[in-house]
A and B are shown apart, each in its own frame.
Chain A
Amino acid sequence: MPEGATAVAVAESDFSLASRRRPRWSRHRIAGATAPYALLAPAAVVIGAVLGYPLYLIARLSFEKYGLFELIRHKGTWIGLDNYTEIIHDSQFWRVLLRTVAFTVVNVSLTMVLGTAIALLLVRLGLFMRYLLTGALVFVWATPVVVAVDVWRWMVDPQFGIANWALTKLHIGDFVRHDWFVNPWSGFAVITALVVWGAIPFVAITVFAGLSQVPEELIEAAQIDGARSRNVFREVTLPLLKPIFVILTSLSIIWDFQVFNQIWIMLDQRPSTDYFTMSVYSFVESFRISEYGLGSAIAVVMVLIMLAVTFVYVRQMVKAGEVH
């Protein structure tokens, strides 16, 4: 679509007042009515191809037997709900689901609480310290996940990692040559630390930005009325920041529920079944065991859970989009 036509179409819509006076279907009017569709078409086609079709295909694959043989033949065999009955009767699936939910709850809670705490701390800091801490947060935020995982892997290295050395020096226990990943609990503790560390900056900086938008008059009025600072926070600040918390929590749930890279790279690309979360489980079923049908069924369950949980978020974003 030529630029010029686009621009004219854009301007056209802006001047709806002028065209309202002459409600005939002139050539300009028709151009104005079709313009948005013409503008949208290229993006819509691409989204349909790279998102719409794969979503349809994954739904279909989940009803098919699709292994190596089918991969070479480029055609699956329809088996109805067999994949779903198999995972429902598989105790491994339920363990993985439970583990993923627990992991998400722990990580999201820690991220939100610590992130908000740091935001509240930022408000109380002197100017220099505030810049220093904000700078650190932005640096952490900017660190690519893949890089962050390698750094943490190095810090908890059994032999030369600084974590074992520090814990031993602090007399917390004997951590010489301690391998954190032998026990899945301590392994997940490390992964949680990594995920939360990486997620805190976004929450802290966003909440801090929200806090600075709360009108000072409101807080002062509450203080004059004799409210204590804890109550001021609960009764004045929190309600005002509620929309931000809803969005941040939803985004955190989305990100933490599908954590993959952190587990996959941390465990040398071959995590034991104790480390399976939904996304790792579905990935292993598909790309390690070549049961693409089964992997798809797990992935579909994951997508449905995701959409159900984030329904509130999507609705809020759409509502915000409608305001304009």
Chain B
Amino acid sequence: MSSVTPIAPTPVAPVVVRGHSRRRRINRLGWNLLGLCVFAVMVFPVYWMVATAFKTGPNIFSYSPKWFPIPATLANFGDAIHRDYFWRNVGNSLIVVGVVVTFSLVLAFLAALALAKFRFYGRKAFIVVIIAVQMVPLNALIIPLYITLSRADQVNKLSGVIITYMTFVLPFTIWTLRGFILGVPRELEEAAMVDGTTRFGAFVRILLPLVAPGLVATSIFAFIQAWNEYIIAYVLLSSPEKQTLTVWLASFTTNRGTEWGPLMAGATLTALPVVVFFLLVQRRIAFGLTAGAVRG
């Protein structure tokens, strides 16, 4: 701003600003009102889920909707968590997600180091593969994955699901981690070595701590992706005690209809860890996804 203002004739500027300022304030008010409307539209479905989860039965099944969950009740949550297999399915989700994130993070970190720190023959080809495979729809891959796993007798087992989740978690994790490692200036490590640290020391004391937030962010995002996955778990896990939470949500809808109260409570519980984690890392990852565009 400072580089431009001097060019504008100074005597005129204040007058123009004052003339604009009232119209501006009215404009600002208009924009804020519009913003409030957009806010209401966007947030309403989320609000409606949580509100329904806390409502009593008669208030849910009422022909004129009740806007607020008064009187509030925890009955729906109680119903949801005391349902068959809820805790088993929470456990399944945690096992699958935990193993997938751990494995892919270790593999991806090594691969990302190679891509970020070395120039070698085949590097570009690998990058092309990593990006291109992320374009392949999961729905297309589920057919061969199912057939392969059924040959290996891995259908209806968590191990089969864990292996298949690598298809979408690993390429994404490699790509994101590579970005984070590139974000650490090379000079820092070099400076540490000039100051007498060993190469290993520079890696442990400089690179690792600086990449650590990136590692955390990436693992959380991998967690979210695996936690939210539905199709693979739906196809591979047929018995109720083996299923994950996203598949479990379907059990609220039967031939007799849907139990909306408990379903909304279950949905809230399923979304909760994701939302919490997401709020922690959203800033880092949002820019990671489009980093190429901004830099290019």
Contact = CB atoms under 8 A, between A and B. Distances in A.
Interface of A: 1, 4, 6-8, 10-15, 33, 35-37, 39-40, 42-44, 46-47, 50-51, 53-55, 57-58, 61, 66, 71, 74, 118, 121-122, 124-126, 129-130, 132-133, 136-148, 150-155, 157, 159-160, 162, 165, 197, 200-202, 205-206, 209-210, 213, 216-217, 220-221, 224, 243-244, 246-248, 251, 254, 257-258, 260-261, 264-265, 268-269, 279, 282-283, 286-287, 292, 295-296, 299-300, 302-303, 306-307, 310, 313-314, 316-324
Contacts of B27: 124
Given A37-B120, A46-B166, A318-B128, A306 B137 contact: yes
Given A6-B113, A10-B203, A146-B249, 9 more contacts: A11-B189, A13-B117, A13-B118, A14-B186, A37-B114, A269-B250, A286-B143, A302-B139, A323-B295
A248 B292 CA distance: 12
Contact of B230 (A37, A145, A213, A246): A145
B143 A220 contact: no
A269 B170 CA distance: 29
A151 B267 CA distance: 8
B135 A314 contact: yes
Given A133-B38, A261-B231, A10 B113 contact: yes
B241 to A, nearest CB: 19
Interface string B125-146: 0111111110111111111111
Interface string B268-279: 101100110011
Given A13-B117, A160-B61, A165-B63, A320 B46 contact: no
B83 to A, nearest CB: 15
A154 B291 CA distance: 37
Contact of B144 (A10, A58, A318): A58
Contact of A146 (B116, B166, B230, B260): B230
B199 A165 contact: no
B180 interface: no
A269 B253 CA distance: 10
Interface of B: 1, 3-4, 7-8, 27-28, 31-32, 34-36, 38-39, 42-43, 45-46, 48-49, 52, 60-65, 107-108, 110-111, 113-120, 123-124, 126-133, 135-148, 150-151, 163-164, 166-167, 170-171, 174, 178, 182, 186, 189-190, 193, 199-200, 202-204, 207, 224, 227-228, 230-231, 235, 246, 249-250, 253, 258, 260, 263-264, 267-268, 270-271, 274-275, 278-279, 282, 286-287, 289-296
B200 A7 contact: yes
Nearest to B40: A136
B220 to A, nearest CB: 11
Contacts of A43: 107-108, 110-111, 170, 174
A71 B107 contact: no
A147 B249 contact: yes
A150 B1 CA distance: 49
A10 B199 contact: yes
A150 B114 contact: no
A209 B136 contact: no
Contacts of A316: 292-293, 296
Given A12-B199, A39-B114, A282 B139 contact: yes
A302 B107 CA distance: 29
A310 B133 CA distance: 11
A125 B107 contact: no
Contact of A54 (B145, B207, B275, B293): B145
Contacts of A10: 113, 117, 199, 203, 207
Contacts of B132: 307, 314
A282 B165 CA distance: 20
Contacts of A197: 42, 45
24 contacts: A8-B199, A11-B200, A36-B114, A36-B117, A47-B133, A47-B171, A54-B144, A55-B136, A125-B31, A129-B35, A137-B42, A140-B45, A141-B282, A144-B227, A160-B63, A160-B260, A162-B65, A201-B42, A217-B1, A224-B8, A244-B293, A247-B292, A299-B139, A320-B296
A153 B62 CA distance: 17
B163 to A, nearest CB: 6
A154 B52 contact: yes
Contacts of B230: 145-146, 261, 265
Given A54-B141, A243-B294, A209 B286 contact: yes
B111 A155 contact: no
A66 B133 CA distance: 25
A143 B276 CA distance: 10
Given A13-B117, A14-B189, A58-B143, A146 B246 contact: yes
Q: When A and B form their complex, which 9 residue pairs have the shortest distance between CB atoms, in order from nearest? A: A11-B199, A320-B292, A142-B278, A299-B140, A43-B111, A39-B114, A57-B144, A7-B203, A258-B137
A200 B45 CA distance: 14
B126 A44 contact: yes
Contacts of B190: 14-15
A296 B140 CA distance: 7
B271 A125 contact: no
Contacts of A141: 278, 282
Nearest to A242: B293
Nearest to B127: A321
